[in-house]
Amino acid sequence: MNSQAPRYFALIPAAGVGARMAASGPKQYLKIGGKPMLRHAIDAFLFSELIAHTYVVVSADDPVIDSIVPSHGVTVLRCGGDTRMESVRNGLAALGATLRENDWVLVHDAARPGLDDALIEKLITTTGEHPVGGLLALPVVDTVKRSIAGELGTVAREGLWLAQTPQMFRYKLLREALAFASDPVRGPAQFTDDASAVEALGLSPKLVVGHPRNMKVTLPSDVRIAEMYLATAQPELL
């Protein structure tokens, strides 16, 4: 392991099309509170003094990204893939000559505009020198139901969490986990986030309590909820 002090980098995969939003273009460019969702996410990292640099992964032919990224603190990587995992993997590969093995990478969804510098700081400081890494998440508080083939059942909510992002892992470990997860025998469909790929190596990331404002905008009805969160002052952390 490199003996130099680790740095913290943000990586935002933004090559998706957001089909469930039923929008006229990629949802990461949909405006929330007058600003593209992706720019909200970028700004959260720019406002954090803990983040050394931010990288955004987009498709090679993205015609919009250059018009929304600021002129400093952000680098666009035009190597996005067909899936989120592929975009993250390609982005990490492109940074092979820039990041050290023990640097931390905070992977964040472009469709989570409610992230702020306080949540970033909480993730970093709470995870600390954890041997695996950590992610923001919310404990499940509602009763959970499962419906399969018309059969309804109740799922015990004890120990259940809703994963958020950023998800923070050391550069070397994250690359190894995503390489393992991309094996066609295992099938990438079972890995819905970076933490699940790390877990497949037999490791357990640290869960750090996030905040509801860091919601993922997936459906059209989510837009108004996200705008309500963004219109309020920065809340106290949970």
Reported as a single tens digit per residue, the pLDDT across 144-194 is: 999 999 999 999 999 999 999 999 999 999 999 999 988 777 655 578 899
pLDDT over 70 percentage in the chain: 91
pLDDT at 189: 58
Chain centroid offset of residue 114 CA: 12
Domain ranges of the chain: 8-231
Average pLDDT over residues 114-127: 97
In the block, residue with structure tokens 């090679």: 60
Instruction: Indicate the angle between helix axes 37-47 and 117-127, nearest 10 degrees.
Output: 60
Alpha helix segments (H runs only) across the chain: 37-47, 84-94, 117-127, 171-181, 194-199, 222-231
Is residue 201 within 8 Å of residue 180, measured between CB atoms?
yes
Put the strands of the sheet holding 74-77 in their side by side order: 74-77, 53-57, 8-13, 104-107, 161-170, 133-139, 206-209
Average pLDDT over residues 42-65: 97
CATH architecture of 8-231: Alpha-Beta Complex (3.90)
pLDDT at 19: 47
Q: Which element (helix H / strand E) includes 191? A: none
Average pLDDT, the chain: 91
Q: Which of 42, 229, 237, 3 is nearest to 124 (CA)?
A: 237
Residue that wins the pLDDT comparison between 190 and 221: 221
pLDDT at 232: 81
**pTM value?**
0.92
Task: Inform me whether the pLDDT recorded for 16 exceeds 80.
Answer: no
pLDDT at 211: 97
Q: Which of 130, 153, 128, 129 is nearest to 143 (CA)?
A: 153
Chain centroid offset of residue 23 CA: 21
